[in-house]
Structure formats: C-alpha cells, structure tokens
C-alpha cells in the first residue's frame, strides 16, 4: 500500500471515528456513572462487612434501634420473661391464699351454725362494697385468681319470703346481680330491706301469675304461699300461682335462655306409703282435698318444668324441699316449728294436732340455701330431696321447744287437720352423691337462732302496739 492509499484509508477511518465519537463519549459517561455506583456499593458492602465483624455491643451504639425492640431483645436474651412469669405465679398464689377480705372463702354462715347470728346481723347492716364484693363465695367453694366467676343476673321469685330472702343474701354476698320478684302476699320488704341501695339488688313488685320479661341467667322460682294457712286462704290463687306462675317463669327461661330452678315440695309425696321417701316414689296424694291446691299445684309445676326441659331444651332443676325453719319465718303461719316457737314465747300452750306421733324432719334454712345453690350450679336436673333426715315426732319437737324456750310450756292436743301426712323423712342419698350436699345444722343448734329472731319480732311488735295504744289513749 502506497502512501496515497494509506492516507485515503486513514481519512476514511477518521471520518468513521468522528461519526461515532459522541456516542463513545456517552458510553464513557455511563461507564463513569456505573463505576461510581459500583464504587459506592463496594464501599457500603465493605462497611457492612466491617460492621458484622465488629463486636455486638459496638453495633448497638452505632445503629440506634427502637427502645421497645431493645427491651424485648434484652428480656429474651437475659431470660427475664421466665422471671416475670414466675413472679406473677407467686403473687397470684399469695393473693389467693391470703386474700385480706377472705372473698374466696365459702361464707361461714352456711358451714357453721354458730356464725348464723353474726351473719344475720351482717345482713341487717347496710351492705358495703367489701362485704358484698365480686366473686366472693360459690356453691362449689374457692375460685382461683384470674378465673373469677362470671357475675350472674339472677331472678328470685318469692325472694321477699322466708327461704327466698336467705337465698338472696347468699347470692348478693357472692357478687351476683339479684332481682327479687314478689307480690308480698306472704313475704315482706323487711326481709330484704338491708339490700336497699345496693346497685346489685332490685326489688320488683309483681305477681308471677302475670308474665314478666327480664334479662337473666338464672331463675330461682320460689313464689308460692308455702304454709297451710296461707295456701288455704285462697286455694284458687294458690294453684294459679303454681301453674300459671310456673308457666310464665318457664316461658321467660325459654325466651332468654336462662336456667330455671323450681322449689317443689315433699308434699308431692302426699301421705307416703314408702318411708323414707326416695325421689323415685310417685306419692300418695289426694287430688281433691283441701291441701290439693298446693300439693297438686306443685306436682303440675314439676310436670311443666320437665316438659319444658324435654320439649324446649330448657335447663331445669327441681328441688323437693322438706320442712324448713329459721329466722324470718312468718309468725303464726300454721307451720309447726313457727307455731310452737311463737306460742312458747307468748306463754301460750303448744298446740299438737292429733296424737302428736306423726313425724317430720326439720332442716335449718342455711342448709337448704346451700342445697339450692349447689343444685342450680350443678349438672343434674333432679328432682332432689333437700331436707334433714333427722326425724322427730310432734311431741319430741314440743319437748325440744320446751328445753330451748320455756320448760313450763304446756301442750294442748287438738283434732288433726285433713290429709295431714303421718310420716315424712327424706332419703337424701341422691343429693349426697350427685350434689355433694347434706345438712349440717341440727335442730338443737338451729332453733336458738330462730328463737332470737322471733323474740325480737314478737316482743318488738308488742312494744310497738303498747306505745301506739298509750299514745292514742
């Protein structure tokens, strides 16, 4: 190739190069950009590598981390969480065992007859938040901390009566919200007055023969005149209360999905041909006698409860209560214990009907209330006999009354009333086995508490009468 040719080729190449030169410029810009990015990345990676190679503590100081994250890491690393959990467990145990209010202890009233008087005195005082604190006692006993029982809304029909008012005391004491529904036929506001002002207590004047709508979890259905005198006073009303009243309360239970407990009676056994009476015994009842409004009324109430249970899936409980006595019983209501006590206090002769050889068993009211609550809280429908199997003839009872109140009290015999059963004694095997219940208070232990209450009412009433007569004359 000569010089001319060579010069030509170089010229052409230089043209070609000049055409591409700006693009190469761009490429070189890109290259410098990429290389700068690569450089910075490399630097970062190097610094990271350095960081990870540095001791851990130094890393904390270099990189500020969120304080909560640091705390969690610290707790986990130092196993502080285990310590905290152990601490909570020890504190719970201590609190449960040494709770200052004793709020998880079963109420002594029911386990110890001697404390009945003091408990009644307590009931007479205005309730305070300490005495009626939440989750105090349960029919079953102690409740572990953190598993506090649910506060129940409970309605007690007939809650202003004798048994009802004692039941209300217990329910309020354990922290339930209690509504008493009563028409005050045989009950009295005086029996529940000590709860007035307590936000957990409500008193509703209502006749259960009429329907009522309440939002409740449990229904204790006690409304019914219980003494022969009151039952016979208006027999049609008595059977209406038993039948329509029970229907209405079962209807309420169905509507709001509440559990329903019926207080039936040993009278469903009538004049029993089987002794002692077991729940499987069907009874010997006169369906057309003067006492039938009560006896047959309660039998029908039991039938209704079972039909609602089977047909409408209502949770029902049936208690067959045997003779019960205690403070707040109606004075002069024709029931044998209250009759004898009132007569002995007034220095009147004790009236024994018939030959006095008919037998009864007497349970103290606190035992009954414990049984009712266990039944309601338990899983068994019943019926369950709730009574004290200790059997006394009327003459023996009169003797105990003489010993307790007045040894000189006279006994007067009168003709027996129609359909008066000859024998009555509960077989409580079923309640013992399935409810873990049996009465604790003997007649001699319980009677003085009733006598004290009657003495106050009989002589308190007399004093009041004397003051009114003096002031009016």
Ligand X SMILES: NC(=O)c1ccc[n+]([C@@H]2O[C@H](COP(=O)([O-])OP(=O)(O)OC[C@H]3O[C@@H](n4cnc5c(N)ncnc54)[C@H](O)[C@@H]3O)[C@@H](O)[C@H]2O)c1
**Which residues fall within 8 angstroms of residue 132, CB to CB, at 6 or more apart?**
172, 173, 175, 198, 200
Among 119, 136, 183, 248, binds ligand X (CB under 6 A): 183
Judge contact between 235 and 293, C-beta under 8 A: yes
Burial of 411 (0-12, 13-18, 19+ CB in 10 A): middle
Helix (H, G, I), strand (E, B) or coil at 354: coil
Among 113, 225, 327, 371, binds ligand X (CB under 6 A): 225
Q: Give the total residue count for the chain.
A: 473
From 30-38, 43-51, 204-212, 447-455, span contacting ligand X (CB under 6 A)? 204-212
The answer to whether residue 209 forms part of the interface with ligand X (CB under 6 A) is: yes
Among 171, 203, 216, 223, binds ligand X (CB under 6 A): 223
Judge contact between 380 and 435, C-beta under 8 A: yes
The answer to whether residue 200 forms part of the interface with ligand X (CB under 6 A) is: no
Judge contact between 432 and 278, C-beta under 8 A: no
Among 136, 323, 338, 339, binds ligand X (CB under 6 A): 323
Burial of 449 (0-12, 13-18, 19+ CB in 10 A): buried
From 26-34, 192-200, 224-232, 395-403, span contacting ligand X (CB under 6 A)? 224-232
The answer to whether residue 184 forms part of the interface with ligand X (CB under 6 A) is: yes
Interface map 269-308 toward ligand X (x if CB under 6 A): ----------------------------------------
Spell out the long-range contacts of 131-136 with Cβ–Cβ below 8 A and sequence spacing 24 or more.
Answer: 131/173, 132/172, 132/173, 132/175, 132/198, 132/200, 133/101, 133/103, 133/175, 134/103, 134/175, 135/103, 135/104, 135/174, 135/175, 136/101, 136/103, 136/104, 136/107, 136/173, 136/174, 136/175
Chain centroid to CA 318:
17
**In sequence order, what E strands does 266-399 have?**
316-321, 324-325, 350-353, 359-361, 363-364, 384-386, 391-393
Among 119, 136, 186, 200, binds ligand X (CB under 6 A): 186
Closest CA to 347 of 405, 415, 413, 414: 405
Q: How far is the CB of 223 from ligand X (least distance, A)?
A: 4
Q: How far is the CB of 337 from ligand X (least distance, A)?
A: 9
Interface map 354-383 toward ligand X (x if CB under 6 A): ------------------------------
Q: Which of 109, 110, 132, 294 is catalytic?
A: 294
From 87-95, 217-225, 434-442, 448-456, span contacting ligand X (CB under 6 A)? 217-225
74 is catalytic: no
Query: Rounded to whole angstroms, how far apart are CA atoms 248 and 255?
Result: 10
The answer to whether residue 245 forms part of the interface with ligand X (CB under 6 A) is: yes
Q: How far is the CB of 267 from ligand X (least distance, A)?
A: 7
From 65-73, 94-102, 201-209, 251-259, span contacting ligand X (CB under 6 A)? 201-209
From 31-39, 53-61, 159-167, 338-346, span contacting ligand X (CB under 6 A)? 159-167
Applying CB under 6 A, the site for ligand X has a residue count of 29
Structure tokens belonging to residue 370: 């414990």
Q: How far is the CB of 222 from ligand X (least distance, A)?
A: 4
Q: How far is the CB of 125 from ligand X (least distance, A)?
A: 22
Among 226, 375, 401, 451, binds ligand X (CB under 6 A): 226
Q: How far is the CB of 185 from ligand X (least distance, A)?
A: 4
Closest CA to 428 of 268, 211, 278, 262: 278
Query: Rounded to whole angstroms, how far apart are CA atoms 129 and 175?
Result: 10
Among 263, 338, 343, 388, binds ligand X (CB under 6 A): 263
Residue 456: how many CB atoms within 10 A of its CB?
Answer: 11
Binding site for ligand X (CB under 6 A): 157-158, 160-164, 182-187, 207-209, 222-226, 241, 245, 263, 265, 321, 323-324, 330
Which residues are identified as catalytic?
294
């Amino acid at each position: 190739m000569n010089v001319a040719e060579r010069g030509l080729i170089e010229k052409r190449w230089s043209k070609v190069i000049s055409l591409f030169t700006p693009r190469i410029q761009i490429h070189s810009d890109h290259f410098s950009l990429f290389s700068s990015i690569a450089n910075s990345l490399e630097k970062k990676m190097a610094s990271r590598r350095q960081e990870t190679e540095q001791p851990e503590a130094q890393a904390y100081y270099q990189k500020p981390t969120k304080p909560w994250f640091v705390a969690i890491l610290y707790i986990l690393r130092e196993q502080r969480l285990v310590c905290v959990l152990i601490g909570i467990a020890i504190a719970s145990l201590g609190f449960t065992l040494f709770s200052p209010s004793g709020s998880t202890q079963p109420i002594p009233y029911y386990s110890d007859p001697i404390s009945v008087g003091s408990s009644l005195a307590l009931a007479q005082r205005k309730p305070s938040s300490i005495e009626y604190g939440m989750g105090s006692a349960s029919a079953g006993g102690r409740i572990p901390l953190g598993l506090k029982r649910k506060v129940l809304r409970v309605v007690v029909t007939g809650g202003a009566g004798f048994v009802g008012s004692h039941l209300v005391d217990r329910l309020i004491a354990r922290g339930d919200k209690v509504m008493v529904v009563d028409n005050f036929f045989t009950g009295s506001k005086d029996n529940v007055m000590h709860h007035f002002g307590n936000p957990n207590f409500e008193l509703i004047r209502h006749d259960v023969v009429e329907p009522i709508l309440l939002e409740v979890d449990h229904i204790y259905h006690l409304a019914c005149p219980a003494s022969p005198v009151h039952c016979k006073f208006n027999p049609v009303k008595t059977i209406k209360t038993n039948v329509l009243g029970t229907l209405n309360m079962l209807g309420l239970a169905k509507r709001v999905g509440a559990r329903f407990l019926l207080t039936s009676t040993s009278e469903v056994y009538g004049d029993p041909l089987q002794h002692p009476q077991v729940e499987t015994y069907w009874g010997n009842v006169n369906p057309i006698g003067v006492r039938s409004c009560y006896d047959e009324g309660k039998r029908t109430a039991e039938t209704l409860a079972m039909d609602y249970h089977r047909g409408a899936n209502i949770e029902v409980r049936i208690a067959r209560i045997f003779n019960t006595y205690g403070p707040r019983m109606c004075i002069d209501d024709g029931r044998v214990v209250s009759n004898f006590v009132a007569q002995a206090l007034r220095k009147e002769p004790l009236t024994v009907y018939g030959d006095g050889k008919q037998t009864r068993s007497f349970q103290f009211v606190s035992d009954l209330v414990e049984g009712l609550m266990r039944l309601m809280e338990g899983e068994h429908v019943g019926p369950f006999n709730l009574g004290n199997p200790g059997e006394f003839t009327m003459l023996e009872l009169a003797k105990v009354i003489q010993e307790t109140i007045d040894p000189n009290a006279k006994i007067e015999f009168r003709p027996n009333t129609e359909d008066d059963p000859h024998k009555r004694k509960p077989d409580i095997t079923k309640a013992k086995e399935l409810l873990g219940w049996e009465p604790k208070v003997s007649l001699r232990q319980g009677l003085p508490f009733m006598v004290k209450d009657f003495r106050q009412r009989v002589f308190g009433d007399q004093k009041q009468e004397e003051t009114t007569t003096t002031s009016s004359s």
